[in-house]
């Protein structure tokens, strides 16, 4: 009869326990007890969050069903404000501008940021210094950037266009209802590209070099490697950048204030600007209804983001 020797340092009782113990995460998983003192550390944050965000939001939603103008008496009027929002040309125009601006800007930003990321992760000598330079716009205030570009679009660019005889740009594009949105896209992209660029650089650096070596051995040229290797492997980063950027551009406000202040007329008035303007113009309850609808749209986009990024966390 052959005797099977047991590993040294492990008794039969330990072996049996290891065999019969429930798997991690199973019904027999041991719960970790959290001391009550640690929960008390959450109280200040919960109180501040409730007073600064939750309570004002709940009150605002309540007032959206009234005729409250921001002060004085009010009456409950039901969903009248919500019905009016859907039939208000100014609000519908602001939604159309905001979503159009968000789509164009997110496409432009991601295209430029991805191409820059590819260049800044290639074999060039000054790539570290260039990365630092391209990140600078991210640390400057949006309103400051907007005022600087306001001067450029209103003075420097028309003067330069006049000197070379370029007719269409001899007048400020900020005063043109058909072109002012282009200036907002340019400034927003200039400010947003660095953050998007950093995410793409992180994604590109996570791709093993052996993948490109194998592709090169198979005869794939750099362009083919970009489409067949790089893009599929950074698709998770692309989705994250697009969705986060789109949500951010829906809330555009400071850049518009510094460039056009919503003009000419109301050609570049975003949803956020329409809401804030209404708060100070006696339309508090009406614009709270608009803000509530805008909040619902943001929640829907957030849910879509979670669903699209759930299976891509490993890539990102």
In 3D space, the residue among 112, 313, 114 whose CA is nearest the CA of residue 201 turns out to be 114
Question: What contacts 309, CB < 8 A, 6 or more positions away?
Answer: 236, 239, 240, 243, 316
Q: Name the band, by pLDDT with cuts 50, 70 and 90, for residue 303.
A: confident
CATH label of the domain that carries residue 153? 1.10.3720.10
In this prediction, residue 30 carries a pLDDT of 62
Share above pLDDT 90 across residues of the chain, in percent, rounded to a whole number:
37
In this prediction, residue 16 carries a pLDDT of 47
Q: Which residue has the higher pLDDT, 117 or 21?
A: 117
Do residues 113 and 200 touch, judged by C-beta distance below 8 A?
yes
pLDDT above 80 (res 313): no
Residue 48 lies in a domain: no
Residue 87 lies in a domain: no
Question: What contacts 167, CB < 8 A, 6 or more positions away?
Answer: 161
**With the CA atoms of 115, 117, 123 and 127 taken in that order, what torsion angle do they form, in degrees rounded to the nearest 10?**
120
In this prediction, residue 305 carries a pLDDT of 76
200-240 pLDDT per residue, tens: 999 998 888 888 888 888 888 888 888 888 888 898 899 88
Q: Give, to the nearest 10 degrees, the angle between helix 142-151 and helix 180-205.
A: 130
In this prediction, residue 29 carries a pLDDT of 56
Residue 60 lies in a domain: no
pLDDT above 60 (res 247): yes
Residue 102 lies in a domain: yes
Over range 261-273, report the average pLDDT: 91
Partners of residue 76 on adjacent β-strands? 66
Residue 280 lies in a domain: yes
Tell whether the torsion through CA atoms of 21, 23, 28 and 32 is positive or negative.
positive
Residue 296 lies in a domain: yes
Domain that holds residue 122: 98-312
Do residues 110 and 196 touch, judged by C-beta distance below 8 A?
yes
In this prediction, residue 104 carries a pLDDT of 96
pLDDT above 50 (res 2): no
Identify the burial level of 301 via C-beta atoms within 10 angstroms of its C-beta, where 0-12 means exposed, 13-18 middle and 19 or more buried.
Answer: middle
pTM of the model: 0.79
Number of domains in the chain: 1
> Average pLDDT, whole number, for the chain?
83
Q: Which residue has the higher pLDDT, 90 or 26?
A: 90
In this prediction, residue 312 carries a pLDDT of 55
């Amino acid at each position: 009869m052959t005797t099977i020797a047991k590993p040294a340092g492990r008794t039969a009782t330990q072996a049996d326990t290891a065999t019969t113990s429930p798997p991690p995460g199973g019904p027999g998983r041991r719960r970790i007890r959290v001391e009550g003192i640690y929960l008390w550390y959450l109280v200040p944050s919960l109180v501040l969050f409730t007073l600064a965000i939750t309570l004002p939001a709940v009150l605002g939603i309540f007032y959206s069903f009234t005729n409250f103008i921001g002060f004085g008496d009010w009456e409950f009027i039901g969903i009248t404000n919500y019905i009016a929002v859907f039939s208000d040309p100014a609000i519908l125009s602001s939604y159309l501008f905001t979503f159009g601006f968000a789509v164009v800007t997110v496409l432009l930003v991601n295209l430029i940021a991805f191409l820059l990321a590819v260049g800044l992760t290639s074999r060039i000598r000054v790539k570290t210094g260039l990365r630092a330079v391209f990140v600078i716009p991210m640390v400057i205030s949006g309103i400051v950037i907007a005022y600087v570009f306001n001067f450029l679009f209103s003075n420097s660019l028309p003067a330069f266009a006049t000197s070379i005889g370029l007719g269409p740009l001899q007048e400020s594009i900020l005063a043109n209802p058909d072109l002012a949105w282009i200036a907002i896209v340019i400034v927003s992209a200039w400010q947003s590209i660095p953050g998007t660029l950093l995410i793409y650089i992180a994604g590109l650096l996570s791709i093993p070099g052996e993948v490109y070596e194998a592709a090169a051995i198979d005869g794939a040229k750099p362009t083919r490697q970009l489409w067949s290797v790089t893009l599929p492997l950074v698709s998770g980063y692309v989705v994250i950048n697009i969705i986060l950027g789109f949500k951010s551009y829906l809330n555009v406000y400071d850049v518009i204030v510094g460039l056009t202040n919503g003009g000419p007329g109301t050609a570049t008035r975003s949803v956020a600007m329409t809401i804030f303007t209404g708060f100070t113009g006696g339309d508090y309850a009406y614009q709270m209804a608009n803000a509530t609808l805008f909040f619902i749209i943001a929640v829907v986009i957030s849910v879509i983001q979670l669903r699209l990024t759930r299976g891509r966390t490993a890539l990102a």
